[in-house]
Amino acid sequence: MTTMIDRRSLMLAALGATALPVLPRGAAAQARASLALVAAGPGSAFLGYGQAMAKIIAAGAPIDIEVRETKGSNENAELVSAGTVPLALLNMGPGFDAWNGKGPFAGKELRGMRAVAPMYETPFHTLTLKKSGIANLRQLAGKKVGVGPARGPGEVFFDGIAAALGIQVTKVTGNPDALGKQVETGEIDAFWYGSGLPSPPFAVTANAADAVVIGFQPDEAEAFRKTFAYFAPYTIPAGTYKGQTAPIQSLAVWNFIVAHKDVPADQVHALTAALLKDPAATKAAYPAAAATVKENVGANTFMPFHPGAARYYREAGVTISPALLP
């Protein structure tokens, strides 16, 4: 007789996916587990964060995390919801669209993922050279603008702000490292990107060239939030980048670690506890992880929590909205 687990494995194999491991009860305590986590590409904050947090988790739980490169949140949502990978880093803007079958996910609601832990906020801002004279988003009209990986969140959000402002640009896609370098060499005029601070490619370019970073003018922010209401005001502190003497007004959205719904609850409980038990250690491992604390769990407003994560928050005395409990 074909069991339910066998049928699921056959289905995933037919889709070219790898079935999630189903361990015997108590096996997690007997041997170290190995779980893949998808992040993003070279130069992304996701990649650096994932690599740093993998070390934190491995030190505090019997779980080894294999960090894999992807094109970012849109691809990550597809992979983790399908069960192709057990863990993912996810910007909750694309996450909201994926969960509800909107935007690039129109016609398919991706409901196989569950929230695990808050990461940090992602403020969107734009890098350009000072000599370009570009001082706001409207002045990107007619320019060559890097927008991150093709069909990734950065491109989706940029399309939204360009439409809201009525501007047309020549979009250039690619990994963040490459696009930062293209600003430095003058191959493109600007690079729009969202990242934990400081944004790695922005910092590299600001240290190597006479660059400036711009945020949102009040009318630009208002226009953007009419399309992307889940963004909130965010101030990039002065001194975040070389030569930045004043705060920059931006808009940001939260990121979360998410898991496929069928990852064993004991494993998710263990990795959540390891990740959140020592905020000072996570911050030391990666500066943006200063926000990776249990008190920020309420930043998730729509995705149910994984049972293993929910159990950790209950034990830690953190209240979760009843609507998001498993």
What CATH number should be reported for the domain holding residue 171? 3.40.190.10
Last residue of a domain, one of 213, 237, 253: 253
Domain that holds residue 90: 4-20+29-119+255-324
Give the separation between CA 262 and CA 83, rounded to whole angstroms.
8
Q: How many helices (H) and strands (E) does the chain have?
A: 12, 10
Are residues 66 and 81 both part of a single domain?
A: yes
Are residues 82 and 112 both part of a single domain?
A: yes
Are residues 264 and 235 both part of a single domain?
A: no
Q: Is the peptide bond before 198 cis (omega within 30 degrees of 0)?
A: yes
Half-sphere CA count of 1, side-chain side, radius 13 A: 2
pLDDT at 27: 43
- The amino acid at residue 7 is R
Coil, helix or strand at residue 168: coil
Give the separation between CA 26 and CA 180, rounded to whole angstroms.
47
pLDDT at 30: 55
Q: Please state, as a whole number, how many other Cβ atoms lie within 10 Å of the Cβ of residue 47.
A: 23
Q: Please state, as a whole number, how many other Cβ atoms lie within 10 Å of the Cβ of residue 106.
A: 10
Are residues 259 and 249 both part of a single domain?
A: no
User: Could you give the number of structural domains in the chain?
Assistant: 2
Are residues 87 and 194 both part of a single domain?
A: no
Residues 6+ apart with CB under 8 A from 237: 197, 247
Residues 6+ apart with CB under 8 A from 250: 123, 124, 125, 215, 216, 233, 234, 235, 236
Q: Assess contact for 130 and 212: CB atoms under 8 A.
A: yes
C-alpha angle 43-272-314 in degrees, rounded to nearest 5: 140
- The amino acid at residue 9 is S
Q: What share of the chain is helix, strand, coil (3-state, %, to 5)?
A: 45, 20, 35
Are residues 101 and 147 both part of a single domain?
A: no
Are residues 51 and 103 both part of a single domain?
A: yes
Give the separation between CA 20 and CA 87, rounded to whole angstroms.
10
Q: Tens digit of pLDDT per residue, the chain (326 long)? A: 333 334 334 333 333 344 454 444 444 445 899 999 999 999 899 999 999 999 999 999 999 999 999 999 999 999 999 999 999 999 999 999 999 999 889 989 999 999 999 999 999 999 999 999 999 999 999 999 999 999 888 999 999 999 999 999 999 999 999 999 999 999 999 999 998 899 999 999 999 999 999 999 999 999 999 888 888 899 999 999 999 999 999 999 999 999 999 999 999 999 999 999 999 999 999 999 999 999 999 999 899 999 999 999 999 999 999 999 99
Are residues 235 and 127 both part of a single domain?
A: yes
Give the separation between CA 208 and CA 173, rounded to whole angstroms.
22
Last residue of a domain, one of 194, 218, 253: 253
pLDDT digits (tens, 9 = 90+) for 15-58: 334 445 444 444 444 589 999 999 999 989 999 999 999 999 99
Structure tokens belonging to residue 295: 């008190």
Q: Please state, as a whole number, how many other Cβ atoms lie within 10 Å of the Cβ of residue 189.
A: 23
Q: Please state, as a whole number, how many other Cβ atoms lie within 10 Å of the Cβ of residue 133.
A: 10
Residues 6+ apart with CB under 8 A from 203: 241, 242
